[in-house]
Amino acid sequence: MLHGLLFTLSKSTNDIIYIISSILLIIYIVSLVMVFFYALAQLNLLFNYLKAKKKDKKGLDNSPKFDLNNPDEIPYVTIQLPVFNEKYVMKRLLKNIALLDYPREKLEIQVLDDSTDETVIKTKERVDKLAATGLDIIHITRTNRQGYKAGALKEGLAIAKGELIAIFDSDFLPEADWLYKTIPYFKDEKIGVVQTRWGHINRNYSLLTKIQAFALDAHFTLEQMGRNSKGHFINFNGTAGVWRKECIYDAGNWEGDTLTEDLDLSYRAQLKGWQFKYLVDVETPAELPVVISAARSQQFRWNKGGAENFQKMFKKIIHSDLSFKTKAHCVLHLLNSTMFLNVLIVGVLSVPMLYVKNYFDDFKGYFIAMSFFGISTLIFFICYWYMFKHVQKKSGVKGFLQYIRTFLTFFSVAMGLSLNNSGAVIEGHRRKRSEFVRTPKFNIKSIDGWKTNKYIRKKPSKNVIYEGFLCLYFLFGIVSAWLVRYIGRNELKVYDKECMFGLAPCDAWYIPFDSGLIIFHVMLFLGFGFIFYTSVFKKV
């Protein structure tokens, strides 16, 4: 009787485990497929990008352009500089902007200053000195930060003299001929925005800056050029671009209900029929965050904003008269940040899936889905190689080996940021409102220059403890590659045990561990380990 009861309980427990495993497997496969679809979209963008580069080499860009040597064709331009507590970069910014080459009678500069510290007074003094030289520059302050950056841009727009509005964040340093490279494209009255590619003045400062530069380079080559060349939607990147004032008003003006007001207005404008022009060969240098807290904050804002805009724009896109392909790229573009959530789900579930795979024979066939992640990674690897060659100007064996190291490092750390970014994505999809947290700027002149910056966050993120736990969790995942051999119902025989411990000769093809996920778990372990260590100890 007792034996029968134990058998019944054992069978019941096994059934429960089977049901739970089935549910987890479904979630796991759905997340893998989502990542795979995103990878396919990236592959399509690569093809578009390569075709566009080939077209550029042939000089086939016949876009109408203003002749800025003709005074009658020179449009009035307002430059907006939205700033907030920029103690370390304001002097550099104003000096750089004052050197821009453009007819002074057709140029206005607005310093939109929402600062709450002593920089307000110093900035006003610098603006007054520049104004005394004959430069049309004004210092605009507000009594509140309503709408944050979007609110400041909106208030400045209301009194802007220019028909074209160039926008630069405080860490951007456009070259003197920047306006002459961008403004001519507005002769085409359908053009609402001209966006340039970001450069990175401190790319090689640290491993953290190298990784950020790599990710941004992929966006500003494959994604922006790949979409724009085929007429798909792209986004104004918040800075280093020019808007037509009429386009801003026609699209409904700046709104502060998302953390990425630039993406929001970009989609509203393109849904109105405005066209964007992306200039991949016009680089605007800027500074990357050098401390992990600043990088986290920036990533959080960008990823939450992407999810917020998906919620805001999805129905408008689906019900628009856009082509199916453009709609698909729009949706995947706005779901870009959600990929971090899918990667986190795949990573966390991959460890129990390792046990499920070796415990239930019924599920073995379904684990072909694991190959989706491998194929997706291969697609990303190929796509980013072309980006790397274009931006870094490196090829050959030496360049390829450097790329492999860079890609694996980037991929590991990107997965290590998935917890931080997934929290942002969940908040964004829930439409949970939060403050626009600026990214502190540094103007680093020495390796330890960041230490004196008063704006950086001193305490580690609250997520750090969970990232440390996940680092250990994926270490357990690595060890599990060997442990699962002990629980496999039909795989581990006495011969296998003796082979594993050197008590008997092994078959030539015998592998004493499940190798399917071990590389994935090593990368996750290193990625979360890097984020944890940098956040708690190294900081940069």
Instruction: Provide mean pLDDT across the span 77-106.
Output: 96
Examine the pLDDT at 446 and tell me if it is beyond 70: no
User: pLDDT tens-digit profile of 204-221?
Assistant: 999 999 999 999 999 999
Instruction: Provide mean pLDDT across the span 493-504.
Output: 49
Tell me the C-alpha to C-alpha distance, in Å, between residue 1 and each of 6, 90, 479. Answer: 9, 83, 40
Paired tokens of 11:
């069978």
Q: Residue 111 in 3-state DSSP?
A: strand
Instruction: Provide mean pLDDT across the span 266-293.
Output: 96
At residue 206, φ and ψ (nearest 5 deg) are: -160, 175
What pLDDT sits at residue 512?
Answer: 65
What pLDDT sits at residue 13?
Answer: 74
- Residue 242's pLDDT band (cuts 50, 70, 90): very high
Examine the pLDDT at 77 and tell me if it is beyond 70: yes
What pLDDT sits at residue 492?
Answer: 44
Examine the pLDDT at 7 and tell me if it is beyond 50: no
Whole-angstrom distance, CA of residue 303 vs CA of residue 232: 21
Active site residue 262: yes
Q: What is the number of residues in the chain?
A: 540
In the chain, the percentage of residues whose pLDDT exceeds 70 is 89
Examine the pLDDT at 72 and tell me if it is beyond 60: yes
Active site residue 114: yes
What pLDDT sits at residue 403?
Answer: 97
- Select which of 113, 217, 262, 514 is catalytic: 262
Tell me the C-alpha to C-alpha distance, in Å, between residue 236 and each of 178, 207, 210, 283, 412. Answer: 17, 27, 23, 15, 28
Nearest to 299 by CA among 179, 196, 205, 421: 421
Instruction: Provide mean pLDDT across the span 163-175.
Output: 98
For CA atoms 425, 426, 427, 431, the dihedral sign is positive
Domains of the chain: 71-302 (3.90.550.10)
Examine the pLDDT at 21 and tell me if it is beyond 50: yes
Do 422 and 528 form a contact (C-beta atoms < 8 A)? no
Examine the pLDDT at 359 and tell me if it is beyond 50: yes
In the chain, the percentage of residues whose pLDDT exceeds 90 is 73
Mean pLDDT of the chain: 90
Examine the pLDDT at 5 and tell me if it is beyond 70: no
Instruction: Provide mean pLDDT across the span 153-170.
Output: 98
What pLDDT sits at residue 457?
Answer: 67
- Residue 509's pLDDT band (cuts 50, 70, 90): very low
Tell me the C-alpha to C-alpha distance, in Å, between residue 312 and each of 212, 227, 309, 465, 520. Answer: 27, 21, 5, 33, 34
Lowest mean pLDDT among 138-142, 411-415, 450-454: 450-454
For CA atoms 181, 182, 187, 191, the dihedral sign is positive
- Select which of 114, 169, 171, 496 is catalytic: 114
Q: Where are the alpha helices (DSSP H) in 393-517?
A: 396-416, 418-429, 464-487, 494-500
Examine the pLDDT at 135 and tell me if it is beyond 70: yes
What pLDDT sits at residue 508?
Answer: 43
What pLDDT sits at residue 96?
Answer: 97
At residue 222, φ and ψ (nearest 5 deg) are: -55, -50
What pLDDT sits at residue 454?
Answer: 64
Question: What is the SS3 string spanning 146-183?
Answer: CCHHHHHHHHHHHCCCCCEEEECCCCECCCCCHHHHHH
Question: What is the SS3 string spanning 287-325?
Answer: CCCCCHHHHHHHHHHHHHHHHHHHHHHHHHHHCCCCCHH
pTM exceeds 0.85, yes or no? yes
